[in-house]
Amino acid sequence: MRLDKYLVSTGKLSRSEAGRAARGGRITVGGIVEKHADRQIDPDVDVVTLDGEPIVYRAYTYLLLNKPEGVVSATEDGRDKTVLDLLPDELQRLGLFPCGRLDKYTTGLVLLTNNGPLGHRLLSPRHHVEKRYRFTCREPLSAENCQLLEAGVTLEDGYVTKPARIYAGEDGRSGEIVLIEGKYHQIKRMLEAVDNKIVTLERISFGALTLDGTPRGAWRYLTDEEIAALERAEGGSL
């Protein structure tokens, strides 16, 4: 594997920064300064350091992105901008995909990874990974509506939703909803099942991941702790 690819996998440097770091003498391989970022290394054998710190190869990449309105949760689209279009070129080539889809006009947290098995596991209702959304709706939600939504409602195709949690705002037209599943247009259709309509929807958390500190349209690498939490597929208690 090329040294610069190895460095990029850690999420600490872009490919051009890796080249600059090598030329600047900041990288060692097997204890020897390596100025050529295009040289081949063996990730299982070679010890690589950046500024004296050993760096660990990551086979997979994990990013959190705060999706703006109008962007689609797909890897390519003939018409609309996709979540991948919001990333720098070098990250667009890593085979990342969004872990679950948000509708075009839903904003908020999208997890992108190229770890296929983990991505599929996180989406399985069996693993109970909680997804929390902030919503506004057209009509005030009554206490009865909230109870129905929490217990499970029958969607127009006959599907009965799994238990959810609702935290209704004081005005009744806003609140938060927590789901452990992600059917197509699920929240929109759940609100329709109680004769209401979603006006705005934002995903604010996904398992242990939260949007905190990541502005709309921006992305960041997950921390090692966040990756470990996803690997444990920590669920909630719905």
Amino acid at residue number 33: V
Q: Which is nearer to ligand URA, 178 or 201 (CB)?
A: 201
Q: Least CB distance from residue 22 to ligand URA, whole Å?
A: 42
**Applying CB under 6 A, what is the total number of residues that bind ligand URA?**
8
DSSP track, 23-71:
HTT-EEETTEE---TTSB--TTT--EEETTEE----SS-EEEEEEPTT-
Does 176 bind ligand URA (CB under 6 A)? Our answer is: no
Map residues 97-136 to x or -, x wherever contact with ligand URA holds by CB under 6 A: -----xx--x------------------------------
Catalytic residue among 4, 42, 103, 157: 103
Q: Least CB distance from residue 131 to ligand URA, whole Å?
A: 8
Amino acid at residue number 49: T
Q: Least CB distance from residue 135 to ligand URA, whole Å?
A: 9
d(CA 125, CA 183): 10
- Do 27 and 7 contact (CB within 8 A), yes or no? yes
Q: Least CB distance from residue 108 to ligand URA, whole Å?
A: 9
Closest CA to 145 of 161, 166, 171, 163: 166
| Residue 13: both structure tokens together | 């440097």
Does 201 bind ligand URA (CB under 6 A)? Our answer is: yes
Of 187, 193, 209, 227, the one binding ligand URA (CB under 6 A) is 187
Q: Least CB distance from residue 89 to ligand URA, whole Å?
A: 27
Q: Which is nearer to ligand URA, 28 or 186 (CB)?
A: 186
- Mark whether 103 is an active-site residue: yes
Closest CA to 149 of 179, 108, 181: 179
Contact region for ligand URA (CB under 6 A) — 21-29, 184-192, 207-215, 227-235? 184-192
Partner residues linked to 205 by β-bridges: 132, 210
Does 63 bind ligand URA (CB under 6 A)? Our answer is: no
Phi, psi (rounded to 5 degrees) for 186: -60, -50
Active site residues: 103
